[in-house]
Structure 1
């Protein structure tokens, strides 16, 4: 018997309305985690300033963007957060936002969506492709979740005192978009 609190619905071209969509900040989280201290400690943080929009075509494909306020990253450690805002990392005075522009979001029959686009960090845009899981798909709301590994060196973020930072950063996101009629 289906769980009445489960809002997941099947995906497909007729599952969502064509037109303009806006990111629902209340239903969205963008967090990251990264190994540090030679892989012994995982630093976690979340961006508190997230915005976005998109367009769904009649065939169900979509495109859009998500923008993160770089200075809004909160790891729970004020000194570390100040360093992440400095030129060693995000250089938020010069580059106040990080942006992912999705050129293509293609829904799949299995509740997955193939996403391709450009991720821009500190003024450097690099291609990024990943698979997202659709956790909600109604005519008026769509929620996608994904975990994406991002190599910070691809964006020139190479500060690594004593070799303490290991491997890629993992971005865990849940983005919810709501349809804007008209």
Structure 2
């Protein structure tokens, strides 16, 4: 038996940070539109789910940069309006641990890559919050624009998702 969980619209943050200007500055941004749902086994030992992020909803608080990030050089939002993480398996790292091992696939610009990471899981009644910092390499997803080598290849996604149990 399983229980369905949906994303609390007021309890999420999907952010990114990426070094630029030859490591002298870090660009921070947030994706404003996120949808997610999942199911958890009633015994709490396993879960799976999907997180879909609207690529055009990114906000770095710099309009010209945001326009460039939405272009074909990066997210190409006209052809790829969203990216998606599908968790095939979420399970506790150890009994009574608040850490969970998450395994699944990340699809960005129609490129699908396996992704595995550890997240913190905090349960408060009928709500569960998952938090993780996930490294990425933008070239893995076809984002290779890099004028004069000014951008680092790797960055980090920050994810905080609060799910509410459905009755």
TM-score (norm 2): 0.95
* Structure of larger gyration radius: 1
- 1:31 and 2:27 aligned: no
Deviation digits for residues 46-86 of structure 1 (CA, Å, limit 9, x no counterpart):
00001100011123210001110000000000000000110
- Structure number having the greater strand percentage: 2
Deviation digits for residues 122-159 of structure 1 (CA, Å, limit 9, x no counterpart):
1111000000012x213411001100001111111111
Match of 1:176 among 153, 162, 165: 162
Distance 1:149 1:116 in 2: 14
Match of 2:91 among 96, 100, 106: 106
Within a 5 Å distance, the mapping from 1:120-139 to structure 2 comes to 120-134=107-121, 136-139=122-125
Match of 1:65 among 41, 50, 54: 50
Within a 5 Å distance, the mapping from 1:18-97 to structure 2 comes to 18-60=2-44, 61-97=46-82
Distance 1:86 1:140 in 2: 40
Deviation digits for residues 1-36 of structure 1 (CA, Å, limit 9, x no counterpart):
xxxxxxxxxxxxxxxx94111011211101000000
Distance 1:93 1:177 in 2: 29
Gaps of 5+ in 1: 1-16
SS in 2 for 1:56: strand
Distance 1:73 1:169 in 2: 15
CA contact (8 A) 2:139 2:153 kept: no
Match of 1:151 among 114, 124, 137: 137
State the aligned residue count: 164
Distance 1:76 1:59 in 2: 43
